[in-house]
Chains A and B, each alone.
Chain A
């Protein structure tokens, strides 16, 4: 296996793909947003329970590739309990890491740094961003 492939599919990514956290529709969610990847037809729904501007609970559901699924799973863990400002800041850091060639990923990203190598796979950036793009609508429209 090539070094790049090992970088894209790190152990934690494969593990979250096999056992995604916060997976399945959230019954008491009061926000829901979907993300589509027209290239492959993948779709992810993100469910959020917002209270007083904070993410009390968050989950995702849908069919997607390993990169999108693991990214969504780790995103839900990282977003849990954050407020709008903190959520947006994290989104921005993640997007910067997978989208641009910026050298060192922000330490605040924690386990999400497993996606740093996605930037070497331009066709997969959209996969890593699928759930984040869905959450973006919630973070920007509803958390004003």
Chain B
């Protein structure tokens, strides 16, 4: 046993934490991200807003620029060499996503703009034709607006009702209430894998198992999970899984809808146009099989290729190594911030990802954010597009949120803590 953990001095705790993390390894991961060498307001950038968007490694930047410099053409079209190369690269990216999610088939991977579009696609193409008045959609109280509003919209369109699974004061999904709410009228469960505002990690396998007992499919919002935890859609047994490329070190404007093949094949197209049809006449149109049926128009080819490169990058490090390092950052930051007078951590779930939401008595999150920004520290402040969750905690102004990625260091955590301490002193 490492006895230095037992000592009650933060210095020795810091030292022991350091010895666990190979600093050279983190430095090597870090070196792959050019923007992390930037300076803001004359200070080295400390980027702790990874839940909003992640930075891009050189490998992704190179994949994107190489495509435009060497291979650019439209996909699934021409007979010429570049079109073939573009198609191969685009479909290779799809296969890369399939492998990353451990999906059964590449046909289950649909490229969309991001998580939001993926959820809207399922709401409009899966749920809307199915729902009748008084049917129910179940979401949780910790959802991002993007996993609330599309369901509210489809409820308005069909007369269905949105039901909410509560969370406790730690920010944990409440299974007893969930089981009670799962009823004969439940048509779909839509729940986040990791809460963007609280950091809670949900037990998706248990959520899907309970839903499937009642024959109810489950959509999982993986936007905050994809860069931080291992995702195996077959082990989770979810019916739909969505995520955004930019939250896992890939480009913006590209995202993924995973759907079980039998679900997707039963769904009508959402958007119509070119690339999703086999034959068109003015009398009749025959659609392409999945996944192309859901990809109308020229897709974000380069975005998909960049996403493939990003997933390669994550796989090379390994989700387990990423999670272990991020947990060290989270526990160190949590331990230090909770000792700052007047500071309180919001979201204390037993199983958390590397998201640290906090408030300081008498200090508005916006002021915390501005002051830290001038120290070069980037965090997010406000309601984090999760106003219902903030309301539950009585936080009209939201929280300050530091969110870590594998390229963050313990030194950066210490800078954050020092900055927060100064903010608290200033407003004392």
Contact = CB atoms under 8 A, between A and B. Distances in A.
Contact of A40 (B365, B371, B375, B426): B365
Contacts of B387: 41
Contact of B422 (A1, A41, A63, A121): A1
A42 B41 CA distance: 26
Nearest to B364: A65
Contacts of A4: 41, 374
A92 to B, nearest CB: 26
Contacts of A65: 364-367, 397
Contacts of B427: 14, 17-18, 66
Interface size range of chain A in the complex: 20 to 34
Contacts of A39: 382
A106 to B, nearest CB: 25
Interface in A46-81: 63-67, 69
Nearest to B381: A40
B382 A67 contact: no
Contact of B41 (A2, A40, A67): A2
Given A5-B371, A41-B383, A64 B364 contact: yes
Nearest to B43: A2
Nearest to B42: A2
A103 interface: no
B396 interface: yes
A63 B397 contact: yes
B382 A5 contact: no
A1 to B, nearest CB: 6
B349 interface: no
A67 B427 CA distance: 12
B314 interface: no
Contacts of B363: 66
Q: What 5 A-B pairs come out closest when comparing CB atoms?
A: A65-B364, A65-B366, A2-B374, A40-B382, A63-B396
Interface of B: 41, 362-367, 370-371, 374-375, 381-383, 387, 396-398, 422, 426-427
